[in-house]
Amino acid sequence: MSLSFSRSTFTLHFLVQYVAFGILWVNIEIHISSYNVFLLISAGFNKVTDITAKANTAAAPAAAIMLFFDSTECYACTQVGVPVFHSTSCDSAHQPEWQALAGSSLVPIHGGSDPISMKPTRCQNPSTKGPFGSILDPRSKWVQKWNRVSLLTRGIALAIDPLFFYALSLSIGKGGAPCLYVNIGFAAIVTIARSCVDALHLWHLWLQFRLAYVSRESLVFGCGKLEWNARAIASHYVRSLKGFWFDVFVIMPIPQAIFWLLVPKFIREEKIKRVLTILLVTFLFQFLPKVYHSYCLARRMRKVTGYIFGTIWWGFGLNLVAYLIASHVTGGCWYVLATERVATCLQKQCERNGNCNLTLQCSTNVCYRFMYPADKYGNPCGRNSTWIAKPLCLDDDGPFNYGIYSPALLVVSSNSLAVKILYPIFWGLLNLSSFGNELAPTSNLLEVMFSIYIVLCGFGLFTLLIGNIQVFLHVVMAKNKKMQLRRRDVEWWMRRRQLPAGLRQRFRHFERQKWRVMGGEDEMRWIEELPEGLRRDIKRHLCLDLIKKVPLFHNLDDLILDNICDRVRLLVYSKDEKILSEGEPVLRMFFVVHGRVKI
């Protein structure tokens, strides 16, 4: 019986009895993907053995939520219908010890067994089996980890694509004549890297056929339920606009096909401008959808868990990496456009010289310069059929006005691959950060449009990414300051009350665990400050489905259920703290949603 609630533990006060259970509350750093429900029902005069919290409330969550009733130790537990209130000591000869894990049923402790090694159990449903394997819960810890890996691989793929630009190189041949060629060694390395990243995405694509999703029908009434039918999951994934076909499109080998099939052909035919135009168009044709695909994946992760990586520093790093990738893309486009301007200059210079028969094709249009250095094997790419004595087009002080591409002349003609990659990234980072303040474009239409793009992207990235980084840093500093003030007040109070060292240590430990789970925020105070109608609606939305899973509440009307939901209270237990002691009356019903309890 799967549920999709909980962030921590809550207590519900209802008449003489109390119910404690977990509800999905707000975004916190510790994500509970799925939970175990441990049910204790008893009258106010019954007695129980000690119940101790055995695991930290900030421990990693387990795999599923299951409703458990003891059906082996007591006759009353095995009866059909509403459970009868009775003591757990009804069978004094066979009182078992139990442990409950968040995400599993109660597990009996056998002699000498290691409680840490217990594995959560899950009811096997035949409908959760499909042709691609068993259906997975999107809230499970393993799926969340894989989604993070997939998001990182998508970011790596975004950084790899602009590297194809630098495989197109300009070489200076004998006599100073420039020619264009494809650096096949570097292109092969980039192709292999891109293929490996796409192969990882194929695994992600296959995983989507096994991942349960929230059906739209369940969102009409309630907070949404997962669809576990394998055929429905596959159909939904294939028919979704952002599903199967979108995932296939972003891993299509378009850059590989362009570089290995079309670029060498166009270089042989002396169609240099067409080569550069196709490079830019095909790059943007697939790169922009890939950016949107990564954004959709990140938003989907945030929708399921409330966050992506769970720490502010990860958010800081992601925004910084996104800014660097934008600079990398801008620098790559700048490099290609600069190469196109050099080719234009060479053609114009040749037209002015009546005896010129210029060809920009090297002696071989595919060169192995990257694999065989020129100082050892000579220059296999520099023998132009007709050469110009002095390449004025590669002279910054020449008659041709390059505008914003002037710094690229030394980069385009450089034999250093590191310079060709790092300098355009630096140029893009510099101009995006300064909003293109240093740009001085010519009247060339494409150059002016590129300059406008840099200015707009600089404003947008600064507003979104740099703004997010500032917010992250402010949140970190504010939380640290709040935590320090809280600890100082607690230490002052404990000294004033002269608490012994043992109690002080337990108090500090509890404060640390509660801060880790709640982030220093009093969620119950937020809810209590709301108007009564809004407060009841929120609590009903969060806990009604969980309450309805309890057989005791099956036949209650909506008014009583609303009152039950309205009495939710938060409880957090640290490790080795006792929840109930033997001999005490049972006044509460506990749903252990995070951590481990020993009975």
For residues 344 and 480, membership in a common domain is answered with yes
Q: What is the pLDDT of residue 328?
A: 92
Would you place residue 220 in the very low, low, confident or very high pLDDT band (cuts 50, 70, 90)?
low
For residues 190 and 75, membership in a common domain is answered with no
The angle that helices 141-160 and 312-352 make with each other, rounded to 10 degrees, is 20
- In whole angstroms, what is the distance from residue 140 CA to residue 151 CA? 17
Tally of domains in the chain: 3
412 is a domain residue: yes
Would you place residue 356 in the very low, low, confident or very high pLDDT band (cuts 50, 70, 90)?
low
Q: What is the pLDDT of residue 318?
A: 80
For residues 219 and 301, membership in a common domain is answered with yes
Using the predicted structure, report yes or no on whether residue 189 has a pLDDT greater than 80: yes
Helix or strand holding residue 20 (H, E): strand 17-21
Tens of pLDDT, residues 526-543: 777 888 888 888 888 777
Tens of pLDDT, residues 479-504: 778 778 888 888 898 888 888 888 88
77 is a domain residue: yes
Take residue 395 and report the two structure tokens written for it: 């002279």
Q: Bridge partners of 21?
A: 10
- In whole angstroms, what is the distance from residue 366 CA to residue 380 CA? 10
Q: What is the pLDDT of residue 122?
A: 39
Which of the listed residues 336, 367, 386 is the one where a domain comes to its end?
A: 386
Q: What is the pLDDT of residue 306?
A: 59
Percent of the residues in the chain that have a pLDDT greater than 70, as a whole number: 64
Instruction: Write out the residue range of the structural domain in which residue 402 sits.
Output: 311-353+388-499
Which of the listed residues 342, 368, 386 is the one where a domain comes to its end?
A: 386
Instruction: Look at the block and give the residue holding tokens 């790169």.
Output: 287
Residues in the chain, total: 599
For residues 253 and 206, membership in a common domain is answered with yes
Question: 568 or 425, which is more confident?
Answer: 425
Average pLDDT, the chain: 69
Stretch 119-131: mean pLDDT = 48
Stretch 178-206: mean pLDDT = 86
For residues 346 and 462, membership in a common domain is answered with yes
For residues 241 and 328, membership in a common domain is answered with no
Rounded to two decimals, the pTM is 0.60
Three-state DSSP class for residue 47: strand
For residues 477 and 339, membership in a common domain is answered with yes
Would you place residue 382 in the very low, low, confident or very high pLDDT band (cuts 50, 70, 90)?
very low
221 is a domain residue: yes
What string of DSSP letters covers 427-459? HHHHHHHTTTTT----S-HHHHHHHHHHHHHHH
Would you place residue 130 in the very low, low, confident or very high pLDDT band (cuts 50, 70, 90)?
low
Select from 428, 391, 423 the least CA-distant residue to 408. Answer: 423
Stretch 311-337: mean pLDDT = 84
Q: What is the pLDDT of residue 52?
A: 47
Take residue 488 and report the two structure tokens written for it: 């100082």
Tens of pLDDT, residues 427-451: 999 988 888 888 888 888 888 888 8
Three-state DSSP class for residue 398: coil
Which of the listed residues 499, 532, 557 is the one where a domain comes to its end?
A: 499
4 is a domain residue: no
415 is a domain residue: yes
Q: What is the pLDDT of residue 9?
A: 33
Would you place residue 329 in the very low, low, confident or very high pLDDT band (cuts 50, 70, 90)?
very high
Would you place residue 82 in the very low, low, confident or very high pLDDT band (cuts 50, 70, 90)?
very low
What is the pairing mode between strands 588-590 and 17-21?
A: parallel
The single-letter DSSP state of residue 213 is E
436 is a domain residue: yes
SS (H, E, C) 348-389: HHHHHCCCCCCCCEEEEEEECCCCCCHHHHCCCCCCCCCCCC
For residues 458 and 343, membership in a common domain is answered with yes
584 is a domain residue: yes
Percent of the residues in the chain that have a pLDDT greater than 90, as a whole number: 4
Q: What is the pLDDT of residue 372?
A: 39
509 is a domain residue: no
- In whole angstroms, what is the distance from residue 285 CA to residue 340 CA? 19
Q: What is the pLDDT of residue 489?
A: 86
In degrees rounded to 5, what are phi and psi of residue 348?
Answer: -65, -40
For residues 550 and 462, membership in a common domain is answered with no
Q: Which residues contact 459 (CB under 8 A, 6 or more apart)?
A: 435
Give the helix, strand, coil percentages of the chain, each rounded to 5.
50, 10, 35
CB 30 within 8 A of CB 102: no
For residues 364 and 346, membership in a common domain is answered with no
For 551-568, give one letter per residue: b (16+ CB within 10 A) or e: eebeeeeeeebeebbbeb
Three-state DSSP class for residue 140: coil
CB 382 within 8 A of CB 172: yes
For residues 328 and 450, membership in a common domain is answered with yes
CB 56 within 8 A of CB 594: no
Stretch 387-392: mean pLDDT = 49
For residues 495 and 554, membership in a common domain is answered with no
What is the pairing mode between strands 9-14 and 17-21?
A: antiparallel
Would you place residue 192 in the very low, low, confident or very high pLDDT band (cuts 50, 70, 90)?
very high
